[in-house]
């Protein structure tokens, strides 16, 4: 099968919508990361997503809608807080887990009685969903375990020969996946951190818990979070401490590894890149701009593989806002391999 990449346009959007209606899988841009979309109500189409990604069937998918009102088709027993939350954060990078209706096939929810729903903000995504006229199930469009795709070329890398069409809507603005909140119980929880933080949600819902590291708890609430994730082939080591000490330690470790025949890389903020004594320094963006760092994270991890880096040293990033989500993804990618100074 040949995989076409078409720039987003009236024509290509029409084509994508038609393919979705006909039960095919299409790579689509969203504001967070690229998704691998299929008609959520077509079980055969949904199975193709799992196949293309190599995703375990017990890891549920998010249903993407283009009209807030559609939520009541797929979710029931809606909590009172919901209207306010949707009014403030949809369309946008917030996924909400609710009790599912019978319309939602179990193939999407990994057998759970709950369903995750999101209305994306990206105009191309909204146009595709609207024109398809069906709800669109979409996980991130990477091969399971790899960093999520934030550019159409990342989707092509992972999905070449596995799907017919990718719509290129340019770089994803947010760069980390949506925040997932669980409103299906009376204890609202953040199951996956993202751009929408607990503090931003506070006026509308009291979040009782934030799942920071679901791998270490026995029964993961967001099943996807228990798998190895976001990881490049390179081994990653994260340095935690005062910046000056981190820089010294990284430079020391570069020297110590210099003649081992492995390729080293360093990921660091723009302000510090000139203090690092290594051939392959990756600028992740300004330490003053958490949004920029989030946007660049996955592309930078993919760049390590492209450059065949074997071992990469990385600083802890500022994490007051979206940085929490960035660090959550980075630590998973690094398998929690942290050097504390
Ligand atoms: O930003 C995003 O959310 C992107 C774009 C494409 O919309 N999608 C995305 O999907 O990240 P995916 O499949 O890679 O991640 C969905 C996460 C997984 O951790 C999954 O386990 C969790 O949401 N999830 C889905 N349905 C759930 C449910 N019913 N209960 C708990 N967690 C659920
Ligand atoms: Mg994913």
Beta carbon of 137 within 6 Å of any ligand 1 atom: no
Q: Is 177 in the pocket of ligand 1 (CB under 6 A)?
A: yes
193 Cβ below 6 A of ligand 1? no
pLDDT digits (tens, 9 = 90+) for 55-72: 988 999 999 999 999 999
Shortest-distance ligand to the CA of residue 61: 1
Query: 108-132, pLDDT tens digit by residue?
Result: 999 999 999 999 999 999 999 999 9
Note whether 141 and 123 are within 8 A (CB). Answer: no
φ, ψ dihedrals at 159, nearest 5°: -110, 5
Centre of ligand 1 from the C-alpha of residue 61, in Å: 5
CA of 110 to the centre of ligand 1 (A): 11
| β-strand partners of 282 | 267
226: Cβ below 6 Å to ligand 1? no
Please, what is the average pLDDT of the chain? Answer: 95
Task: Considering only CA atoms, give the Rg of the chain.
Answer: 20
Please state whether beta strands 264-268 and 311-315 pair in parallel, antiparallel, or not at all (unpaired).
parallel
| Ligand 1, atom 18, residue with closest C-alpha | 224
Structure tokens given for 203: 């006026």
Spatial neighbors of 188 by CB under 8 A, at least 6 apart, are: 81, 181, 182, 205, 206, 207, 208
| Whether the CB of 31 sits within 6 Å of ligand 1 | no
pLDDT at 237 over 60: yes
Over residues 32-59, the mean pLDDT reads 96
Q: How far is the CA of 305 from the centre of ligand 1 (A)?
A: 25
Q: Of the ligands numbered here, which is closest to the C-alpha atom of 181?
A: 1
Ligand 1 pocket, 223 CB below 6 A?
yes
Q: How far apart are CA 233 and CA 311, in angstroms?
A: 9
Would you give the DSSP letter of residue 68? Answer: G
Q: Can you say how many angstroms the Cα of residue 236 is from the centroid of all Cα atoms in its chain?
A: 19
30 lines ligand 1 (CB under 6 A): yes
What's the pLDDT at 214?
A: 53
Q: Which of 25, 223, 326 to mutate to test the pocket of ligand 1 (most atoms within 8 A of CB)?
A: 223
pLDDT bracket for residue 217 (50, 70, 90): very low
Q: Do residues 334 and 237 touch, judged by C-beta distance below 8 A?
A: yes
The helix or strand, by DSSP H or E, that contains position 327, with its residue range, turns out to be: helix 323-333
Centroid of ligand 1 to alpha carbon of 22 (angstroms)? 24
Examine the pLDDT at 220 and tell me if it is beyond 60. no
Cα dihedral 233, 290, 325, 40, rounded to 10, equals -90
Residue 80 CB partners (closer than 8 Å, separation 6+): none
pLDDT > 90? residue 226: no
Hey, what long-range contacts does 219-225 have (CB within 8 A, 24 or more apart)? 221/182, 221/189, 221/191, 222/180, 222/182, 222/191, 222/192, 223/58, 223/59, 223/60, 223/110, 223/112, 224/59, 224/60, 224/139, 224/192, 225/191, 225/192
Question: What is the β-pairing status of strands 136-137 and 62-64?
Answer: antiparallel
Tell me if 222 CB under 6 Å of ligand 1: yes
Instruction: Determine if ligand 1 sits within 6 Å of the CB of residue 122.
Output: no
Q: Kindly write down the DSSP assignment for every residue of 297-324, as one continuous string.
A: HHHHHHHHHHTT-SEEEEEPPP-SSTHH
Ligand 1 in reach of 33 Cβ (< 6 A): yes
Measured between its terminal Cα atoms, the distance across the chain in Å is: 50
Q: How far apart are CA 258 and CA 278, in angstroms?
A: 9
Closest atom of ligand 1 to 192 CA is 19
| Binding site membership of 139 for ligand 1 (Cβ less than 6 Å) | yes
Q: Are strands 75-76 and 94-100 parallel, antiparallel or unpaired?
A: antiparallel
Q: For residue 192, is pLDDT > 60?
A: yes
Q: Give the Å distance between the CA of 254 and the centre of ligand 1.
A: 37
């Amino acid at each position: 099968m040949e995989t076409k990449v078409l720039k987003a346009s009236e024509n290509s959007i029409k084509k994508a919508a038609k393919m979705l209606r006909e039960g095919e899988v299409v790579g689509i841009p969203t504001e967070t990361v690229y998704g691998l979309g299929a008609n959520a109500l077509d079980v055969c189409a949904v199975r193709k997503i799992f196949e293309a990604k190599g995703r375990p069937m017990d890891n549920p998918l998010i249903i993407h809608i283009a009209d807030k009102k559609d939520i009541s088709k797929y979710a029931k027993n809606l909590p009172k807080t919901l209207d306010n939350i949707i009014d403030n954060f949809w369309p946008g990078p917030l996924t909400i887990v609710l009790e599912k209706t019978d319309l939602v096939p179990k193939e999407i929810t990994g057998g759970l009685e709950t369903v995750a729903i999101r209305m994306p903000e990206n105009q191309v995504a909204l146009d595709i969903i609207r024109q398809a006229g069906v709800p669109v199930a979409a996980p991130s469009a990477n091969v399971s375990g790899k960093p999520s795709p934030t550019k159409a070329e990342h989707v092509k890398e992972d999905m070449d020969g596995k799907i017919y069409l990718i719509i290129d809507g340019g770089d994803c603005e947010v760069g980390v996946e949506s925040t997932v909140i669980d409103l299906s119980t009376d204890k609202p929880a953040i199951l996956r951190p993202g751009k929408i933080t607990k503090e931003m949600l506070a006026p509308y819902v009291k979040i009782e818990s934030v799942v920071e590291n679901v791998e270490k708890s026995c029964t993961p609430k967001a099943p996807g979070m228990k798998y190895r994730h976001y990881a490049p082939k390179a081994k990653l080591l994260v340095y935690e401490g005062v910046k000056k000490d981190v820089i010294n330690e990284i430079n020391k470790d570069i020297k110590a590894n210099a003649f081992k025949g492995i390729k080293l890389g360093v990921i660091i903020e723009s302000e510090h890149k000139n203090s690092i004594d290594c051939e392959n320094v990756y600028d992740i963006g300004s330490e003053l701009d958490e949004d920029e760092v989030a946007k660049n994270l996955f592309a930078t991890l993919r760049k390590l593989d492209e450059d065949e880096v074997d071992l990469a040293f990385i600083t802890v990033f500022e994490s007051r806002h979206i940085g929490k989500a960035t660090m959550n993804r980075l630590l998973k990618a690094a398998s929690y391999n942290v050097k504390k100074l």
